[in-house]
A and B are shown apart, each in its own frame.
Chain A
């Protein structure tokens, strides 16, 4: 079984982001970038399937600027076999990403695409679903467990009421939730080996996809500053305040 894992280069989750003064987006100058944490979980799951003998090859693909190849190298150091960089600068919306992934799927013919349920920068949570729709493949989103069978994959999903398990016919799309696994960190020998693994480069044009944005960002604003709290003297006073001032009781 061949697995395709899309990985996105995003602002590191530890960074306190700042909105650009003109409100057009987030300031990315000199900010630490890392692999989207949900994508790390996707890479980890693919590697575990390979270690169990269920997968034979893992291809990591990233769509983004030249530096996105560092993100691919991270996936290769964790254990992916080879990488594909679709080089493009500027904003790429989920639909364009899904179209490019569809073109890569046509070239690579994977049995399974495992990807993060969303990226922590724009929180769109669209690409996996759009890719499934474009390909006409089954999808198992928000996976907390992935069990491949014969020509199928069982995906346990985290839904509001608890857990739901769906059985998908391969080929299929799986998007990962936080509790699927805990990603490994790469060892030094594997970081060295990753430098020698093949990384091919292509472009949106070569894949025949127009990446021009369909959406216009109207404004970007920081969340309102939290106001200082007050100390209450007694339970009675707290109940009073919740009733009369906060209006939540």
Chain B
């Protein structure tokens, strides 16, 4: 699978990430999975090697690399058998601050984030009653002198327990006083180190795989008004601009997963001998793997196209969403084929297939579900009536 142009494909970065990941093999991830534990050592190694600051501009101490480099880093993590979800958001959540924060806010926070001394990898948007219907969110931030007082609740806020800062979306103008339902929302940067126990409560949610996610309760939390990002009331747009980068990076993780599944399935099918010959000699076994490979490559092209458009500054909402959808489908198909190829052994923890299978399934649901992507394409690309 080494078929790309080395320069355009960040070959040196990929190779270095592979070497780093070789220090965190299957048994490391299996032990974490069993204990539902955060991969602190892996995240520290990635931070120390500078990878999580890939997208932070050089003037703030990051590497100032294009999105495709971050995609290459995350793809290689997943291709190695590991998982980047514990820290991928440290790469891109800062984008909201970078694009919309004031010079003073950027100078205060970004160098600390780039150095890894401050973790900004929690993104408080989704709520129990609103889900993807962001305009309907109920968390309210009320101005009181030089602070905002925040009341409400968030859910599926990933990594909140392992983050120092959180980007929080809250309503600052009542919905009925706004022209559009997505107006009147604002972005606040919450310093969770100060807020915990003072109006901020986190409750972890145990999930199908080892993924640190939480419910967030906001009860009279006081956030300094100077932590308002950009203009009051324009927060929905600010959050939206970061979504394309997130979609593309998650899609790259799916491509990495798909490559791991295809390579693992192929290796097993070559070695495993039943009825006197390798099972991979049977077309019934090899064709599904070849099919999964072809689907992965097709999805990979869409991921690259989306990244190319993003880097050129062109609109890429449709491509970023299609990349995420196609890559998540390709990775799950590859997961299913890999499990089937392994037969009973696929269910044994020590093969890592069942763990990766559970992990990659998430991406047809998060960070956006496939149905909403289709609704977006139908409405905005095909000109069909809005369905929701």
A and B: interacting chains: yes
Interface residues in B1-51 by Cβ distance below 8 A to A read 2-3, 6, 11-13, 15-16, 19-20, 48-51
Docked Cα-Cα span, A100 to B289, in Å, equals: 47
Interface residue from B6, B13, B15 paired with A34 (Cβ < 8 Å): B15
Residue B53 lies at the interface, judged by CB distance under 8 Å to chain A: yes
Contact pattern, A 1-42, Cβ under 8 Å of B = 1, otherwise 0: 000000000000000000000000000001110100000000
B63 at the interface (CB under 8 A from A): yes
Which residue of chain A has its CB nearest to the CB of B52?
A: A188
By a CB distance below 8 angstroms, the chain B residues around A30 are: 2-3
Tell me, yes or no, whether A189 is within 8 Å of chain B by CB.
Answer: yes
CB–CB B12/A70 < 8 A: yes
Q: Output the residue of B12, B48, B50, B63 with the most chain A CB within 10 A.
A: B12
Inter-chain CA distance A189–B61, complex, in Å, is 10
A74 and B15 contact, CB distance less than 8 A: yes
**A-chain residues with CB within 8 Å of residue B12 when the two chains form the complex:** 70, 73-74, 77, 186, 191, 194
Q: Is the interface on chain A under 10, 10 to 19, 20 to 34, or 35 or more residues? A: 10 to 19
Interface residues of A in 43-87 (CB under 8 A from B): 67, 70, 73-74, 77
Interface size on B, residues (CB 8 A): 18
Chain A positions within 8 Å of B15 at CB level: 34, 74
- Total A-B contacts with CB atoms under 8 angstroms apart: 42
CA A70 to CA B54, docked complex, whole Å: 21
A188 in contact with B54 (CB, 8 Å)? yes
User: Which of A31, A32, A67, A188 contacts B16 (CB under 8 A)?
Assistant: A188
Enumerate chain B residues within 8 angstroms of A34, measured Cβ to Cβ.
15
Are B51 and A188 in touch, CB under 8 angstroms?
A: yes
Residues of B within 8 A of A31 (CB): 2
Interface of B is mostly: helix
Given the complex, which residues of A lie within 8 Å of B50, measured CB to CB?
Answer: 187-189
Q: CA separation between A122 and B247, bound complex, in Å?
A: 45
Please tell me if the beta carbons of B63 and A185 are within 8 angstroms of each other in the complex: no
- Name the A residues within 8 Å of B51 (CB-CB): 188
Contacts of B16 in A (CB 8 A): 77, 185-188, 191
A134 is an interface residue with CB less than 8 A from chain B: no
Residues on A with C-beta less than 8 A from B48 are: 187
CA gap between A34 and B15 in the complex, in Å: 9
A181-197: contact bitstring with B at CB < 8 Å (1 yes, 0 no)? 00001111101101000
In the complex, residue of chain B having the shortest beta-carbon distance to the beta carbon of A188: B50
CA distance A67 to B11 in the complex (A): 12
Complex interface bits, A158-195 against B, C-beta within 8 A gives 1, otherwise 0: 00000000000000000000000000011111011010
A192: nearest chain-B partner, CB-CB: B63
B6 contacts which chain A residues (CB < 8 A)?
67, 70
User: Quick check: B53 and A188 within 8 Å, CB to CB?
Assistant: yes
- A73 to B15 CA separation, bound complex (whole angstroms): 12
A69 → B minimal CB distance (Å) = 10
Contact B11 A70 (CB under 8 A): yes
Judging by beta carbons under 8 Å apart, are B49 and A185 in contact?
Answer: yes
Name which residue of chain A comes closest to B20, CB basis: A185
Residues A78-108 near B (CB distance < 8 A): none
Report Cα–Cα, A191/B17, bound state, in Å. 11
Q: Which residue of A lies closest to B12 (CB)?
A: A191
B13, A188: Cβ atoms under 8 Å? yes
B102 to chain A, nearest CB (A): 27
Residue of B nearest to A185 (CB): B19
Bound Cα distance A30, B4 (Å): 10
Judge whether B63 and A189 touch: CB under 8 Å. yes
Give CA–CA (A107, B6) in the complex, Å.
31
Question: Whole-angstrom distance between the alpha carbons of A188 and B51 in the complex?
Answer: 6
Residue of A nearest to B270 (CB): A16
Note all chain B residues with C-beta closer than 8 A to A74: 12, 15
A154 to B: closest C-beta gap in Å? 30
Which A residues touch B20, using CB under 8 A? 185
Task: Tell me which residues across on chain B come within 8 A of A189, comparing CB atoms.
Answer: 50, 63
* CB of A172 to closest CB in B, whole Å: 30
What are 9 contact pairs spanning A and B, CB under 8 A?
A70-B12, A73-B12, A74-B15, A185-B49, A186-B16, A188-B16, A188-B49, A188-B51, A191-B13
Interface contacts beyond A73-B12, A187-B16, A187-B48: sample of 14 additional A-B pairs, CB < 8 Å, sorted by A: A30-B3, A32-B2, A70-B6, A74-B15, A77-B16, A185-B16, A186-B16, A186-B49, A187-B49, A188-B50, A188-B53, A188-B54, A189-B63, A194-B12
The 4 closest A-B pairs by CB, nearest first: A188-B50, A185-B19, A187-B49, A186-B16
